[in-house]
Structure 1
Amino acid sequence: VDKLKEMMEEVENAINAFKEEQRQIYEQLLKEEKTVINELSVFERKVELWALGSSTTEKVLKLPSARVVVDKTLENHLPEGVVEFERFLQQTGGRQGGWDDYDHQNFLKVWTKHKGRLSYMDEALEYLCGRTKEDIEQHDKWYQEFLILHERKKESIKKWKEKQQQEKEGKLKEKEKSEKMFKEEWLQREEARKQKAEEERKRQQAAIEAWKKQKAIAFAMEQASQIKLEEEKEKKQRKEHQRQRRVKLLLERYTLQKKEREELEKLEKEKIEEAEKGQRKRIAAEEITKFQER
């Protein structure tokens, strides 16, 4: 259980490390996207502020030497429609086409009222004192191009955002795919490691079983040898006891026979002594008798 827990902790740590790495990459992409959006907003703001300049600025902007060139770094980051629109504004006097705010707003009022039809020209000339028909026609041409490019800009930004979203989703899918592949590869390696560990465990278990079997055989042989030695020892002891018992019996028999022999010898000696004593008494009696007869 502890080994399984340790293994799961290793899996979790590896996946967390991989996720952290992918998270940092994702955050970096978000940061870059935010930077580009901020640059775009700043650039648009600069153009708007620049477009609100005075008529003196308008005149200066008409000079080729005074035209602002779109920064190459921004061109590399901004959508093509945005760059085209901003370049158009820079080259034509900003969001009012080089006109001041009063004239441009009056132009828009009349142009919108007539929905861009040519019938607006007479009324526009009344509102725009100091502007010739050629000025208004040129501004009309500029404004129509402005609307077209502005629409392209919005569409370009929309596509750019969709592309960014697709790239983001693609990176997320790639991240998920990488995580899945990483997890699958890790699980495969872990499964191979577990299989190898299981094979090693079985090999060690087989070796232990063989060792136990050998130990059991050796122990059985030792026990058999010990039993045999004990049996031989017991047999020798029985033989020794039997020998000692026979010796004891022989000794007891010898002692008994010796005692009997000694008793017989004593009886014989007593008989001899008794006979000798009787013989002496008889001789003495005969001598006494002989002496009395004299």
Structure 2
Amino acid sequence: QTKKFELLREIHKLDVQIQALEREKLTHIFCKKSDYRDDFGPMEEEEIKLTDDRKTEKVKIKQQLEKMSYLIKRFQRELRDVKSTPEFVEKLKSIMEEIEGTIHAFKEQQRAKYDELMRSEKTLILELQQLERKFEAWSQASRTNHVTSQTTPSLLPTIAKDISKDLPPEVVAFDKFVHQSGGHQGGWDEQDHQTFLRYRNMYKGRIVFLDHVKPSLPTHSETEIREHESWFQEYSFLSESKKYAIKKWREKKEVEDKEDAISQVQGELDAKKEETKRQITADEKAERMKQINAWRVQKELEKVMKEEQKIREDLDKKRQQEQERQQQLETKRKVVEFQSQKQIEEELLVMIEEERKQEEAERKREVLAKEIGRFRNRDMKYLYEKLDKERVKEEKKKEKAKKIEAMKIQVEATRDPSRLFKPTAGWNERLKDHGPSGGGQVFKMPHRAVPSWRQGML
């Protein structure tokens, strides 16, 4: 909360400074009554164009950030209701790939724009240095002409100075070191430099971290990593020296401001006593040039402070991005772990299903073996019965053949025609008196039918 409040206060302070600079610019440079209106017209048009481009770029970046925020919120909503299905895992995977693609495209686009801006900045710096050298040459020439025309040259101070001469030597040494070594990353890629710093901070600067950081930097050799460590130590030393020099310069500046205020009052009192107009003019010009040089030094230091603030903001931003990337990796690891667990469960279910099928097949084979035995016994029984029937049939056939053979033998018998007229044994049995079989009147007596050839014989 405190950092947020300080950041908002710093942003508000910078906003106020920007508005003050805008008012000063509109008053002195782009004023319609200015004598240099025609000269500053193209600059105003260029500024309007750049302002429009900056607003358009701001809108585009805002849209891209909103898109990434929407995708991340969508992914978070999906994680609230986790389902153990392959479709859900594929859906999470597609959302993560879309988020990674969007972030990667945004980073590549911003990196290209930053590279272009850095090239433009270097070009402008070179142009400004050339202009400053021209101004310095003109000032030296005008100062030489002015010294030769004056009888008292010791009254005029040095008019034009190199801004770097007024800066603390530690600031100049740091800027020169950064410029010669390829920027604040020592000529390395920003991602490799952040990886180097992360391992260095992890091991608190101990030299053992070089053995652990080498696998994470496959594009750099061990010699390059050790050289980068030496460069970073010198960079840190010069940076701390620069901060200490700026702090001392501020303290000295406050003291000098007080002394300047006192000396200015004393000078004004002395100036009132002086009657020579030329001396007053020379003092005013010297004071003006001194103020200009002090203003330049102030602006340069403010620029250095802004660069340091920007570096701190970039480091905070990189740290936040690293935390987000770690969170994404953790989420991805959980998804992969869930997928592996799901795959193990599916393989276990498949194994259980296969074992069940094998047990079912074994049980069916046992039942089938029992049924086959029963059917085999039944078939054998039927076969034995059939064989018995065929054997009996064969025996009957043999017996019948024997009877037929026996019938073929000549038999002689006497004929007795009277036998036809004798009663049969059954008829004699019927004629026997067996007594009454029941009481009462018999209306109908059941009897056997009489053959037609015997009817009327009795």
TM-score by length of 1: 0.50
TM-score (norm 2): 0.34
Say which one has the larger Rg.
1
Question: Which has the bigger relative contact order, CA under 8 A and spacing at least 6?
Answer: 1
Structure number with higher helix proportion = 1
